[in-house]
Amino acid sequence: MIADADRTPLWELLSPPSGFGSETRTAVRAKGTKVLFADGEWRLCATSGLWNVNLGYGNRKVASAIHETLLDASYLTLFRGGHTLAETAARALLDVCGPDHFGRVIFSTSGSAANDLTMKLARQYWALQRQYQRRIVVGFKGSYHGLTYGSHGLTGMPLAQSYYSVDQRLIRHVAHDNVEELADLLSREGDRIAAVVVEPVLGTGAYPLSEEMVTALDGLRQKYGFLLVADEVATGFGRTGTYFASGSWPRQPDVLLASKGLTNGSCAAAAVMPSHRICEVFDRHDAALVHAETQAGAPATCAAILATIDEMERLDAVGSSARLGKQLDVLLDELSSHELVVSAGGVGAFRAVRLSAGGGELPPEAVDLVADEVRRAGATVSTGPGCLQLAPALVYRAEDLELLAACLRNGLDRAAELMPSVSV
């Protein structure tokens, strides 16, 4: 029992209390591609924060834009009104998403909230057309869409949904690599499905959607009429080597979500971009969407979005991501011969190193061991089901990539030595 006076004041997210306050995991500051921790060690960040600091820590253009805006307009609301910075940021977002297809921007504050918003948007879209039965939203097994109540239900990996009594009665999940399973679901419930929400690359294990699935989604959308939503919270803003991964699809999605890369991690931000077709239905009925967030589209956030878009262009971040992706291909191919590595996946700067021992997927405690050893070697990585997740900043330099390679090799070697002490 911890005495009240000794209890750490901060409740760390997704961690048990026994791990709170660890010096090796308590960050002090960050600069460029490295983070200083309370144990005095600078470590290479191989996750871009939470996949959101695409341009590296401490970008001065973004910081200056926020600073100047806070002095000029510290807060303005989008409740029953707007402000010019939000209008300018919305126009800039539409310009990079495709203004011929997408009609407006709805600002939010997180990927989770944006997914909640999108499910409400899709259901209201159909209700306005008197198709009240279209309330079901479909996602993929193994997907991650967030942990607010709506997005937690849509998330397709088991994350204690039943424990928290998350309502999934109007949610369906199918395999991301099984067109037949999706087609079968639609044959049974197609007239009840409001939307199918997909990540172009599943965030939990960096599984890109196959061309077969993308083509099937487009054909099934035309047949059954559901809205196709591209959740690009993680893949947007250059992560996969293009500005948005769905830009290469046969047809654009009906709704596009962006979040992580929007402000280079500087402000809580997300954006939902519905197509002109969706906007036209709301316009025709003069219908209000009942969703609002106090900090959504705040002036400083909009300034950060505008500065980030400018910096993406100045730094050629999309081109850098494509080049980094090719370098990661080489690195991951070299790692594939390691005894703990069974395969690698992903695209661009969105990767996973899949781990195995004795022919089976490593259990969570063994994956944590590997990640801990990589951390001791000098780099921070994320863990996923049976894998290490890599999402380096799009502006990684040659020396960053060399350091990442060394940390991964050293961490894997040390973990292999310790593995007999972990049940696999």
Residue 122 sits in a domain whose CATH number is: 3.40.640.10
- Which positions ≥6 away from 283 have C-beta within 8 Å? none
Residue 416 sits in a domain whose CATH number is: 3.90.1150.10
Q: Which of 252, 279, 314 corresponds to the end of one domain?
A: 314
Residue closest to 197 by CA, chosen among 101, 114, 95: 114
Q: Which of 262, 280, 314 corresponds to the end of one domain?
A: 314
Residue type, 364: P
CA atoms within 13 A on the CB side of 152: 12
Strands, E assignment, 22-170 = 27-31, 34-37, 42-45, 106-108, 136-140
Average pLDDT over residues 189-218: 96
d(CA 160, CA 412): 30
pLDDT at 349 over 90: yes
pLDDT band at 3 (very low <50, low <70, confident <90, very high): low
Beta strands across the sheet bearing 379-380: 27-31, 34-37, 42-45, 379-380
Q: Which of 257, 280, 314 corresponds to the end of one domain?
A: 314
Q: H-helix or E-strand containing 115?
A: helix 111-128
d(CA 379, CA 407): 6
Residue-wise pLDDT for 172-181, tens only, equals 999 999 999 9
- Name the residue range of residue 352's domain: 4-55+316-421
Residue-wise pLDDT for 75-134, tens only, equals 999 999 999 999 999 999 999 999 999 999 999 999 999 999 999 999 999 999 999 999
pLDDT band at 424 (very low <50, low <70, confident <90, very high): very low
Q: In this structure, are 151 and 261 located in the same domain?
A: yes
Residue closest to 348 by CA, chosen among 328, 369, 371, 377: 328
Q: In this structure, are 237 and 345 located in the same domain?
A: no
Average pLDDT over residues 175-193: 98
Q: In this structure, are 79 and 48 located in the same domain?
A: no
Does the model's pTM come out above 0.75? yes
Q: In this structure, are 281 and 370 located in the same domain?
A: no
How many CB atoms are closer than 10 A to CB 67?
Answer: 13
Predicted pLDDT at 5:
74
Predicted pLDDT at 204:
83
Q: In this structure, are 254 and 111 located in the same domain?
A: yes
Q: In this structure, are 336 and 271 located in the same domain?
A: no
